[in-house]
Chain A
Amino acid sequence: GAVVSQHPSWVICKSGTSVKIECRSLDFQATTMFWYRQFPKQSLMLMATSNEGSKATYEQGVEKDKFLINHASLTLSTLTVTSAHPEDSSFYICSASPPAGGGRAYNEQFFGPGTRLTVL
């Protein structure tokens, strides 16, 4: 099956620093990647939708200047948490969606293993 990786798997940083999280589709090209955030004992919340070569679309309430998303290639999207604060501590998950065709259907998404961010 299709594999999505994330790096790092966990990160601890000081308040005010920036953290970059990478999401890679390893064996397919992802025209669309999604970034989610999950707080303890809560469900996943979509932060933004990232399309290769265009600006990301952010969900209501998500600050685009704080959560910078770059989908530079069909296999890589990055999320940078700028000037991180303790309230940004969360589990960040990406998913990647290949184009339909080749046996794959629309709406198919493959999830990364997640990155746990702790801001001190």
Chain B
Amino acid sequence: KNEVEQSPQNLTAQEGEFITINCSYSVGISALHWLQQHPGGGIVSLFMLSSGKKKHGRLIATINIQEKHSSLHITASHPRDSAVYICAVGYNFGNEKLTFGTGTRLTIIP
């Protein structure tokens, strides 16, 4: 069974700080997703990656397949980045079932 662990569970930082959220998984995967969930509950897909690095605006996601580890970075953090960030992995090409981490609650203080 694939386990997905995120750290930290909670993170509070000052506006402008560089943020890193980590995700580790236990077995080989086909793809890893980073999701953002705001207090209202809606989920936004930030990244899907299976190797290397992706960047979108102030967000950067990296994955190390050998180490079974991914990181989500936020540069120049802003209060609007406050949300729960969820790592999810798919481990079967063509079968898109995801296993979710428990999430990291990020709070950015102005």
Contact = CB atoms under 8 A, between A and B. Distances in A.
Nearest to A108: B48
Nearest to B32: A107
A112 B50 CA distance: 23
Q: Report the interface size class on chain A.
A: 20 to 34
A43 B103 contact: yes
A112 B93 CA distance: 22
24 contacts: A34-B97, A38-B41, A42-B102, A44-B43, A44-B86, A44-B88, A46-B97, A93-B43, A97-B96, A105-B48, A106-B31, A106-B94, A106-B96, A107-B90, A107-B96, A109-B33, A109-B45, A109-B96, A111-B35, A111-B42, A111-B43, A111-B44, A113-B43, A114-B42
A110 interface: yes
B108 interface: no
Interface string A18-38: 000000000000001010001
Interface in A66-113: 91, 93, 97, 105-113
A116 interface: yes
Contacts of B93: 106-107
B30 A106 contact: yes
A97 B31 CA distance: 14
B34 interface: no
A65 to B, nearest CB: 22
Contacts of B88: 44
A114 B45 contact: no
B86 A43 contact: yes
B87 to A, nearest CB: 10
B43 to A, nearest CB: 4
Given A34-B98, A93-B43, A111-B44, 10 more contacts: A42-B102, A44-B100, A46-B98, A97-B96, A105-B48, A106-B94, A106-B96, A108-B96, A111-B43, A113-B43
Contact of A111 (B45, B94, B101): B45
A107 B45 contact: no
Given A109-B33, A111-B44, A43 B97 contact: no
A45 to B, nearest CB: 8
